[in-house]
Structures are given as C-alpha cells and as structure tokens.
Amino acid sequence: MLSGPVCLPMLRHQLYLSSLALFCAASPLLAQTWGDGPAPRQVAAPASDIESGLLRLPEPAAGAVRSRAALFELEWTADGAGGWRSEAALPVAPGPLALALQAHGAGGMEIELAVRGRRLLHGRGGAVRSDQVLSPEAGGEEVQRWDVGLRRGGEARVTVRFAAAPEPPRARLVVRDHQELTAAAFIDSHELVVGRPFALAAQVEWNHSGVGVEPPVPVVDRAWAEVAGPTGSTRLRLADDGLSGDGAAGDGRFGVLLPAEMSGDFTARVELAGTQGGTRFLRTTRVTFTVDEPAVVLTGGVQSEVLDARRLRLDLDAVMLGDPRRLQVSAEVWAHDASGAARPMTWLSRIDAPRADARQAGHWNLSLWLDAGWFSHAGLRPPLELRNVRVQDPDHLGVLARAEMLPVPTGALPPLAGRGLVAPESLFGVTANASAPPTPTTAVLISPILPNPGLVLSHGYCASGNPFPTSDFSAPLFVFQDTSQNRSHDQFARRIANQASAYTSFGVVAHSQGGNAALHLLTYYQSPLDRAEGPRRIQSVGSPYQGTPLASLGFFACGVNNNLTTGGGPVWLAGIPSWARAEVYYHTTEEGGFFACQLLTALLLANPEDGTTERSRGQLPGAQNEGHVSGWCHTVLMADPPQCEDGGRNSVMDALAAR
C-alpha cells in the first residue's frame, strides 16, 4: 500500500482529472463549438456596477478626437521637371513651430516653409531637422521633422517637392504652432443606423496646460468638414445655430446634420479656423465612424423559460432585417424590494447568434440567462424589468437597437430562486455558474485530460511579430501570431482562444491591443484563461484601454480600428464589468528624454505618451495599475527601446503570471 505522503498528491491529481472531465462533460456547448471559436459566456455583473455608471454608454462628446495641430493629406501635382510638388497654407502664431512630414521617401523630400513670404528652414533662424524611420506597424514610412522659432506669425505656406518617382507616395503633413488650442470633434450618437438622425459636432478647446488664467475664448469663424465614404466625398459647412446638432446657438460648438441615407465606413476631416488674441489659427481633426444598415428591431416582447434549478432564460423578441448574425445584447435587470420599489439586481450581457423563435415565424430570440441566486444575493423579488437594453455589433460596437425598459411577464422561477444565501463568486466572475451553459442532469465521464498549463505572449494591432523576448519568460510558452492584421477586440480575442486551445489553462502577457483582446476574451467567452492559477491572469504593457487619437487621425498602418478610437474605446469599456477589470495588471511608459518617441505623433498626442498610447488613455479604471516609467517607447525604431524589451519588468511578469 502506498504511504500517505505519496498517496495524497496522487489523490489530488485524480480529483483534478475527475473534475476536469466532469467540466467537459457538463459543458457540451464548449466542446461542440470550440473548433469554430470559444463558447460565449453569460456575463453578469453586480448592481454596484450599474449604480456607479460603469456599464452605461458614455456621452458621445466624451469620446471626441482631439488634435493640437493642423493635419494635411498632401495632394501632388507634376512640377514639369519629372518630379512632384504639393503645397499647404495655414496661419501660424509667433513662437516655437514644428512641422513633420510622414511618407515613404520622406527623408529625401525637400520641404520649404515661408511665413509672410520669408523663407525659413535649411540653416535659417536656428531651424533644426530630425529624421526617423518608423516601425513596420507604422507602415515603415519615414518622418522628416523641422523645429523652428518664429519671430512673427502670419500666413504660412509649406511646399514639399519630391523627385525621381513615377508616382508620388501618400504623404501626411502635420504643423503645430505655439497656440495652446485643440480641435475636438465627435459623432453625437452611438446609434449609427441608416435612417436615424445624427450629427457631426466640433469645437475649439484650450489645451489645459496648467495656466492659471486662460486667455479669452477663441472665436471660430470658419468650420468645415470633408466627409469621405464608399461613394466619394463631400464638403459640408458646420454651423453654430442651435439647429445642426451643435447644442445652443452661439455656444462655440459647431455641427452639421449628416445625410440619413449614409451607409458604410466614413472619415470626416474637420477644419476649425478663427482668431484668438488677434492671431489667426487653424486646427484640424479627423473622425471615423461606421453607419450600419438596419439589422434588428426589438419588438418589446420578453419571454422567460426555466432551464434548470438555478437558471431562467430571458428571450428578447426581435425581428431581423437581414441575415441573422452574431450580436451583443446587454441589459440591466431590475427587481423589487419588500416595499415594492424597483432596484437594480444585476447586469447581463452576451455575444451570440440569435435563435429562431419556434412560437412566431419570422421572429428571433436574443437570449440572456439569469442566475436565480441573484434574488437571494440582492434580497429582491419579481416582477422583473430589463432597463437600458442595447443591441450592438460586436465588432464596430455601434448600437443597432435599444430600449429604455422592457417588462418581463410574471412566470415560473427556478426552484432555487430566493432560497439561501449565494456566494458572489458563483454569480459573477470567471468561476460563476452563470458562465456555463445549462448542464445536463447526468454527466458522462469522458477520457481524462492531462493538465497542461501555459503562458500566452500576445502582440498588438498590426504587429509584425512577437515583441517580447521569449528568453525572458519560462516554458511552457505559447507565442500568439496574427501579424499585420486589423482585428476588432472580439475577433482578436477569439483568435487567442483558438490558437492556445491546446492548453487546459493559460495566463496572458500582452502588448498594446493584445491586452484589450485578453480582457475581452475573459469577459465574454469560456476559455482556458478562466482556469489559470496564479497571482495575475492578465498582464499588459502599453494597452490603449481608452483608445488613442491615432486610430482616427489616420496613422495606423493597417487601417482604421473602431475599437481603438477615443470614441470606440470607452464604448467597449462600458461592457467590461468590475470583476473582469480587476483581473488585469497593466503598465504604461513614456520617452525618457526631452523630445519624443515618435517625431510626428508627438505633435498630436498629449504628454506623457509612449509614441502610440497616452498615459491617460492607457488607464483601466478598476484594474491594477503597476506603474508608469520613463525611458521606454511603444515599439521598435522609436527614440527609446521598445517597452516589451524591459527585462526587469518581463521577469516580474513571468514570475507572477497565472498559468
């Protein structure tokens, strides 16, 4: 007979295998759908997440895209000598001025700056030139930047010449003068569906640089937007008349009502020009947005069905206006206390395909599963109401349908409803019962699966490869690879799960968008990430949890990503409960010298920043902030080493990673 010290570890191992086998047998949906992607989780959150506003969609103005400069997409004309020429004109203020050109071959282009006809640069007036070659993630382009001090302001003209090329490259010019002014623009609605009204709004703001007394409010006298989409572009005038989606007349906010028939992906380049303190200014910014075709209509009906001893399925009745597709449905569940007052009980969300309604031809069910343990946990009772219901596209995050309140008809409840206290961890979080599909009454033991824990290293948006030195991390190690791609957080998350599916459990160390994707995976899907054991399930470096202006301003090499914009990032965060955020440990960095990680984007981003992610937008409220350090930039070929190559930080993340 084996002795006790030997038998106990073996017994624990057998119990682990038995519980794992039971888990797989009791989760048929997970086994059936894993080849196509991870099974959806029924997300649940406590009432405190509702009461704090954590899960409410932000005001659209909060996601405005801000720019402290004037941006130009250069238009080239042949100069008659085998080369190309482009010009941009704008007013500039006296004082420090920076201009930067980004393009393939920018280092060989000739830039001329003239202010009031006086030529500058090229050894005049102390002008300083700096050059940089960008990383593959930034398109591998070159940047030529000039910094010069202007004794006087006025109308400036920038001329760019490019020789010896059959076709000129795409080129972007950024000019920033000394005036502390910012252009901010946003779309005023989250419901961007053909036929529904919405507007583009914009205003000029101060940079909030800490000056005790701000100068007089700048006066905007010219506001335009160049809106480009699938069928071409049009130039629209923005008005401050109180009738154009601009707020009150004369309040300094300008707007324009956009055509109701718009459909597809759009960009709007906004120009705001005016006078401040007797000096002319020009600021531009760029908003990107997607207008969806009508896809779903909520009829207002809700049906409930008892699934098992603890689960009540709530079916929201809907009519699909096109081919059924995966949707994200979210709702606050309200019940009533002993005095009959309605109070929030839980928040539910799920990404899944709709189910055809067998009771009504042509109707579909958008389903949420309510754990009856919430009745005991919250001390509430029926009747139930669903409030702030929203149906979103899981990729571009636009709201396709919404309802303020949907009553749930009184009906049967699961037998365990209101019976005994229920531990919170069984209601929400990665181990919540509500995260699993309805279980069969009997479980059939399947072949045991040997424990196989690992650590996943994930790159970010449009990456050319793994940014982490694998030698800094201990095996077993899996390097996620999806190079040079533009993925939504949802697409990214499902790819992580699919590629790492050989592990029975894994933790994640991620860079940039990889951190967002790992958090999305943990929130919305069942995966081996749920079963990781150790101090830190998700660790990230340089992740833009609240977006980055660069995603809208046109400086992402693989194209626009709605999830990474300053508008889309907060909308995505409005679907991430507190329990999921608490699983994330994140790091931010900045350049450690006196200049910038990236010569051009430094003219657009707010300090401190790492060349891509501003420190302020790299924050994840409710998560574990592991600190901010200088001397590290976002990626390769920047002013300082890439943040993922900090061996000291990597060693700590490896030691504390859950697996």
Distance CA 317, CA 498 (A): 32
How does DSSP classify residue 602? Answer: G
Question: Is residue 274 classed as helix, strand or coil in its secondary structure?
Answer: strand
Are residues 351 and 485 part of one domain? no
User: Of 634, 474, 643, which is closest to residue 564 (Cα–Cα)?
Assistant: 634
Kindly report the CATH number assigned to the domain that includes residue 214.
Answer: 2.60.40.1930
Are residues 502 and 650 part of one domain? yes
Reply yes or no: is the peptide bond before residue 91 cis, omega within 30 of 0: no
Kindly report the CATH number assigned to the domain that includes residue 456.
Answer: 3.40.50.1820
Distance CA 134, CA 638 (A): 7
Are residues 220 and 101 part of one domain? no
Identify whether the C-beta of residue 643 lies closer than 8 Å to the C-beta of residue 632.
Answer: yes
Residue range 334-377, pLDDT digits in tens:
999 999 999 999 999 999 999 999 888 899 999 999 999 999 99
Q: How long, in residues, is the chain?
A: 659
Domain membership of residue 7 (yes or no) is no
| Sheet containing 181-187, strands listed edge to edge, beginning at the edge strand earlier in sequence | 65-67, 181-187, 199-206, 254-257
Distance CA 234, CA 226 (A): 6
Range(s) of the domain holding residue 484: 451-656
Of the pLDDT bands very low, low, confident and very high (cuts 50, 70, 90), residue 9 is very low
Are residues 524 and 504 part of one domain? yes
User: Helix %, strand %, coil % for the chain, to 5?
Assistant: 20, 40, 45
Tokens representing residue 31 in the block: 């086994």
Distance CA 595, CA 607 (A): 11
Identify whether the C-beta of residue 521 lies closer than 8 Å to the C-beta of residue 467.
Answer: no
Kindly report the CATH number assigned to the domain that includes residue 148.
Answer: 2.60.120.380
Are residues 485 and 631 part of one domain? yes
Least confident of 25-29, 96-100, 335-339, 480-484: 25-29
Distance CA 566, CA 544 (A): 9
Are residues 215 and 139 part of one domain? no
How does DSSP classify residue 618? Answer: G
CB atoms within 10 A of CB 359: 10
Radius of gyration of the chain (CA): 27
Question: Is residue 349 classed as helix, strand or coil in its secondary structure?
Answer: strand
pTM of the model: 0.91
Domain membership of residue 132 (yes or no) is yes
Are residues 331 and 255 part of one domain? no
Tokens 């900090």 -> residue: 646
Are residues 586 and 466 part of one domain? yes
Domain membership of residue 623 (yes or no) is yes
Residue range 594-635, pLDDT digits in tens:
789 999 999 999 999 999 999 999 999 999 999 999 999 999
Tokens representing residue 420 in the block: 């005994």
User: Which of 291, 320, 336 represents a domain boundary (last residue)?
Assistant: 291
Tokens representing residue 98 in the block: 């920076």
User: Which of 400, 433, 466 represents a domain boundary (last residue)?
Assistant: 433
- Strands 453-458, 477-479: pairing is parallel
Are residues 308 and 254 part of one domain? no
| Sheet containing 296-306, strands listed edge to edge, beginning at the edge strand earlier in sequence | 296-306, 311-320, 364-371, 355-356
Residue range 292-318, pLDDT digits in tens:
999 999 999 999 999 999 999 999 999
Identify whether the C-beta of residue 161 lies closer than 8 Å to the C-beta of residue 114.
Answer: no
**Into how many domains does the chain fold?**
4
CB atoms within 10 A of CB 16: 15
Predicted pLDDT at 359: 86
